Amino acid sequence: MSQIIVAQNIYGIILAAENRAIQLDEKGEEIHLKVDRIIPIATHCGLLVTGAAEGTDMGKALRDFIREERMTDVQDIYGASLAFLSTEYEQFMRKKCELLPIDPIHQVSFILAGKTEKDREMPFRLYFLWTKKKLPRLDGDEISYAFSIPRRMGLEFQLNKMAKENAPLKDILKKMKEAMEQLKGRGEVNGPFSFGTITEEGVQLLSP
């Protein structure tokens, strides 16, 4: 599974993603693909896609829907995204299961990141949309400070501490970049990587 890392504090949100995916061809053989896992969906809101490559198509469909509805606040977008992506995910899983048995390679989850105007003390929010209960249903949980998929508990501990202390976003970004390079050095990820921020100025995608 490709690596995803997120963290937030009072200043904003940092996003990191490994843009690699594995897809199965008609013979059931693996194909390695490059995908864009960070998808801006509103001026101050972005979506990270984990798992199967088809998740990026779901994410782009959500982006088009959110823009048509002219939603901007992440708390409003969260409810709409959960309903929209649940339908998309159910259709995806039913189609996949007609051809191949359920396998982790087919599964998709999402992290929604963005800004809300409804809470000045906690203006930035992270939500994890995943199959918490029974396939093919999506559920959602709010992320407090930092999260990673696959889970990297040591890194999450460090990022949680930095986020709680409201460290500058540039320091959190540096920690994430260092972590990605360390994982690459150990052969646990391959890259390529992408990074992004969500601040008062909006969503910004960064070069590695």
Task: Identify the structural domains of the chain with CATH numbers, from first to last.
Answer: 4-206 (3.60.20.10)
User: How is residue 131 written in tokens?
Assistant: 């199959």
Model pTM score: 0.89
φ and ψ at 112, to 5 degrees? -95, 130
**pLDDT tens, position by position, 63-76:** 999 999 999 999 99
The whole-angstrom separation of Cα 61 and Cα 19 is 19
- Span 106-159, pLDDT tens digits: 578 899 999 999 998 899 999 999 877 655 567 899 999 999 999 999 999 999
Which pLDDT belongs to residue 104? 47
d(CA 184, CA 205): 21
CA separation, residue 61 to residues 47, 123, 190 (Å): 11, 26, 27
Place of tokens 């200043």: 11
Pairing type for strands 45-51 and 124-130 reads: unpaired
Task: Say yes or no to pLDDT of 56 above 80.
Answer: yes
Average pLDDT of the chain, as a whole number: 89
Phi, psi of 47 (to 5 degrees): -125, 130
Tokens 């039913």 label which residue?
A: 94
